[in-house]
Amino acid sequence: MKTENKGGRPVKVAGQKKAYFIGVKMDTQEYYTLKAKAREAGISISECVRQSVLGSVIRQRLTPEMHDLIRKLCGMANNLNQIARKANAQGYRNAQLENLQLARCIRKLVTHLRHDD
């Protein structure tokens, strides 16, 4: 038995159907910015949002551990400034050892922060 083609749009498979709706609240500036970007690209607002979602990279927030490491790094930067002042006042040989120790600590912290990305 032959099925008759009634015409019309072909049926989409389950993975291609746009089955989910997400409502997003925006202020006036955000809405008109989105609308202008979609108009410039010649696509609908929905398609603009879809492309933005697929093309963006979202990074996780900083963990408390990372905040702590950054605070330590800031403290070390302060120490480095103090060593520089001391070196200018007393001579560079006296501050060389402190500077090398601090440089090792900073290098270790920066390496740790990079590996947490």
Asked whether residue 14 is domain-assigned, the answer is no
Host domain of residue 23: 19-55
Q: Say if residue 72 is in the same domain as residue 110.
A: yes
Asked whether residue 12 is domain-assigned, the answer is no
Q: Say if residue 111 is in the same domain as residue 68.
A: yes
Task: Please give the pLDDT value at position 100.
Answer: 79
**CA 113, CA 70: separation in Å to the nearest integer?**
8
Q: Say if residue 75 is in the same domain as residue 42.
A: no
Domain count, the chain: 2
**CA 117, CA 24: separation in Å to the nearest integer?**
28
Distance spanning both ends of the chain, measured CA to CA: 60
Q: Say if residue 43 is in the same domain as residue 84.
A: no
Asked whether residue 4 is domain-assigned, the answer is no
Asked whether residue 94 is domain-assigned, the answer is yes
Task: Please give the pLDDT value at position 51.
Answer: 93
Asked whether residue 9 is domain-assigned, the answer is no
Q: Output the pTM of the full model.
A: 0.48
Q: What is the pLDDT along the chain (117 residues), one digit of tens a residue?
A: 566 777 888 887 877 788 888 899 999 999 999 999 999 999 999 999 999 999 988 888 888 888 888 898 888 888 888 877 877 777 777 677 777 788 888 888 888 877 765
